[in-house]
Amino acid sequence: MPTLRERHAERTRDAIVAAAYELFSEKGYAETTVDEIAERAEIAPRTFFRYFPAKEAVFFHNANDQVDNAVALLRARPADEAPYDSLVAVLRSIASDLAEPSNQQILLAKHAAESSRLFDHHRAVVMCQFEDAVTEVLVERAGAGNDPLAIQAAVAAVLATFGTAVRAWISSGAKDDLEAILERCVAAARDAFQA
């Protein structure tokens, strides 16, 4: 059971996210300031930065949960399955979940066009965290005698393909079929490597 302090921190974090989403919907992402988010959440601006390093991070507030879920999915794949096939299966599952319409995806798609900083944050923070976690699982799975650097490079290549698909989907306003976009990107990467 969470402690009183943990429950308070969770409520504060939820209040910040709710306030930010309300303001992004009302004013737009670029026009919303951290001070306004803090005021709406009834906290001090410095408190905002204890929970989020930047305004962009609010959009990806559940990134840790998503990474943990992806790692769990990867660990659940058959041990004798090729690592590439396991990773692509996990990415397909994530794409299917992301394609479910939600206010977060719609809002993100709307505001990503306004600010390339959202894409930059996703690439520099979220995808790096995802890459590190996936690489760790696949290095463990490969066992001793395998080259961790080679595994990391392979994971980076596959996740770059996934990132391209997600950015294309968000740029479309989250209206196009993400799973179909991912399949196009995976096929293009596979063809490029075979050429």
Query: Each residue of 20-40: pLDDT tens digit?
Result: 989 988 888 888 999 999 999
Kindly tell me if the per-residue pLDDT of 99 is higher than 80.
no
Q: What is the pTM of this model?
A: 0.78
Higher pLDDT, 111 or 74: 74
Q: Given pLDDT bands bounded at 50, 70 and 90, which one contains residue 105? A: low
The amino acid present at 44, given as its one-letter code, is A
Classify burial at 125, counting beta carbons within 10 Å of its beta carbon; exposed 0-12, middle 13-18, buried 19 or more.
Answer: middle
| 51 vs 67: CA distance, rounded Å | 18
| 43 vs 53: CA distance, rounded Å | 15
Rounded percentage of the chain residues whose pLDDT exceeds 70: 91
Rounded percentage of the chain residues whose pLDDT exceeds 90: 44
The amino acid present at 5, given as its one-letter code, is R
Q: Given pLDDT bands bounded at 50, 70 and 90, which one contains residue 109? A: low
Classify burial at 11, counting beta carbons within 10 Å of its beta carbon; exposed 0-12, middle 13-18, buried 19 or more.
Answer: exposed
| 136-144: long-range pairs with CB below 8 Å, 24+ | 137/71, 137/74, 137/75, 138/74, 138/83, 138/86, 138/87, 141/79, 141/83, 142/83
In contact, 156 and 144? CB cutoff 8 Å: no
